[in-house]
Structure 1
Amino acid sequence: MARKAKELTPLAVSRLTAPGLHAVGGVAGLYLQVLPSGGRSWILRAMVGGQRRDMGLGGFPDVTLAGARDAARKAREKIADGVDPIEDRRARKSALKAETAKVVTFDQAAKAYIAAHGDSWRNDKHRQQWENTLATYASPKIGKLSVRDIEVAHILSVLEPIWKDRTETATRLRGRIERIMGWATSRGYREGLNPARWRDHLDQQLAAPKRIAKTQHHAALPIDDMGDFMGRLRSAQGLGARALEFVVLTAARTGEVRGAKWSEIDMTAKVWTVPAERMKAGKEHRVPLSEAAVALLESLPRMAGTDLVFPSSRRTELSNMTLTAVLRRMGVDVTSHGFRSTFRDWAAERTNYPRDVAEMALAHTIGDKVEAAYRRGDLFGKRQRLMEDWARFIARPAVSGDVVSLHGAA
């Protein structure tokens, strides 16, 4: 009969420094292994299936004496039940590795879906529109979530903020999310029903798109209404109408336009430099001016005694209500700020410009450090082309789904 090892105390164990295996007692076959280098770890030596096996139980002192004894007892219990604890641990590690491999984020799933289906789409513009809408609306909310954890509440957090004001975009976005989630299910990355499905699901929580289109008072003008609107706006009289026209052409905030100064504008270089103190992000912003924007500025009178481009009769900044009044006289139930939303939707849905170009045009703050590193420049050249294309798009009536002809958007 094997001699039973003396049960050592934690203090006694801490004093074991000679290289070799030291029996510590408490559980048969439990040893503290001391290496010549001084490293110490726990070993359980036991007979499994007629063979001697050494099983590592962790390093000392990270695993205490009590912890090692507890792990050794559990391993002995498995052996008594006919289970090889070493093989059992390997199997659990393999299962965990396999399970971890199934953790795919929405952004990863979207990228994989587009890669798998992109070649079958009619052109690269369609691919870019997919990428733009997902990056603009879905990724900030659910991009980093595992697809297996995404539920209907997450889908609604993406769709509800834009469902009423940007129904066309939101409807397309929902369909794209549904396809991506369906792909994730078919690949085994998630289980259960698709949280983005419409019939008998989201249709119970969101208004039907066709009904919204008939009854909704839009905070932002639909993309396809911009051509007709701009034709009417150009016919409107007054400096307020010209300021609103400049808001649309530049996609700038109304406060930035109302405070615009001639000294900030370089007509030769076709650039308007808005100083940091007037920018929401607190950083200087260069706005490329399209030919249409330059022509508008050239048509304006310059009032003596002020540097303002759009001064009031008292030589002060126009009020925001002045721009709102223009819209009211035109009978258009939108907000002046809403034109930035229309511009954003147009860039995402009707062009193949990357999302970051449109975001820079809107002077949006960049949150992602990786994206910020990529965008240290202000992409001025690409933004120039974007604004020219925007000016051309809104210069004429557009049919539904019209896609602007681009030049060098890449």
Structure 2
Amino acid sequence: MKRLSAISLLALCISTSVHSQLGFSIPADSGKVEIPFERSNNLIIIPVTINKKVTLKFILDSSVEYSILSQKSIGDELGLNYLRKIRLGSTNGVTNFGYSANGAQLSLGAASTGTNHSMVVLETDFMNLSNAARTPVDGVIGYDLFGAFVVEIDYSDDMIILHPRSSFEPPRGYDEVPLDVVARKAYLPADIVFENWDEETKKFQIKTGATHTVLFNSDSNLFHLPARKLEIPLGMGPSGPVEGYVGRVRELRIGDDEFENVIASFTKSEVGKSNETGSIGMGILSRFDMFLDYQGSRIYIKRNREFTNSFEYDLSGMRVDAESENTFRVTHIVSDSPAAKAGVQVGDRVVSVQGEILTKDNLNELLRIFLEKEGKRVKMEVERRGEIKSVSFTLARLI
């Protein structure tokens, strides 16, 4: 199931007392910098080297104000300076903390910061980034890059290209769409046609670190809820589960590009600041190659080969999360769904899917089976109270 990103929600809790300079620069003789990326669970994963000692995998999230290191043990080994302890909400009644830290030098190829760059280090990895990405990751990077460069995201070739603003020229063949850039975050205008045919133009925050398609996080949007919807936990916020609904809207338009029958998420209560309507995530963004120019308040977009893909939601009716590196459990079941009718229960450990043992290396690939095709027969093995059980069900469209 596509969910809200804990990454972006966490950013709401990080105080502007974390004084981070832009820092990133490129040597004059280097020109643009190309960085290959890995895509997992539709998120962009890039290699970030810290203090020229260790290279880690970070999620690229355009909505994150400060780079985040999720493993304090790595920060300890690198000798980062912890300046201030920060409260980052709570999960299941447990308060989460992080630290404003400096003494870091971040490098991505020829692009690097100074040696005293600031970032946020989590005291414990409550964000569970690896679970969100379905691959081991150690942090998040966002405005440190988007504020310093024009960032090209080439989904066709899985490449991030950092362009110095001094030499950047608008690309040919791309549509130019204006952005509002406020407090280090970019907002994109989009036209929405709801199920009841109401049409509104809204500004959505751009979130490359969120797997959802479009999210509405204002109570005023709840009267636009579609008749066919699922009531589910949308994800984890800084203060616990974010409850809401998932359904579809008739149309979503960005500039001259139009999408139909789009999956949409609606929170039950507002998440974040009152002036934030919601966000557009990778369910839409990955259908374009793009240039994000925060300083110029522009985005340049061009359709890629994924543009015409249909919008599918999980067809099994269950959510599987990583409990540890190679332990994956069912954490939610939709009533009357294929998985529920087959007897799958919350707490079951998923052992295999279609005869393949589930591991951290094939998790993303195997869970994509639940999005593939209505009518497909799926076989699983689950472990419940020490007993292995075989279950099977036929995938069905729930919304």
TM-score interval (norm. to shorter):
under 0.3
Q: Whose helix proportion is higher, 1 or 2? A: 1
Higher-Rg structure is: 1
* TM-score for the superposition, normalised by structure 1: 0.25
* TM-score for the superposition, normalised by structure 2: 0.25
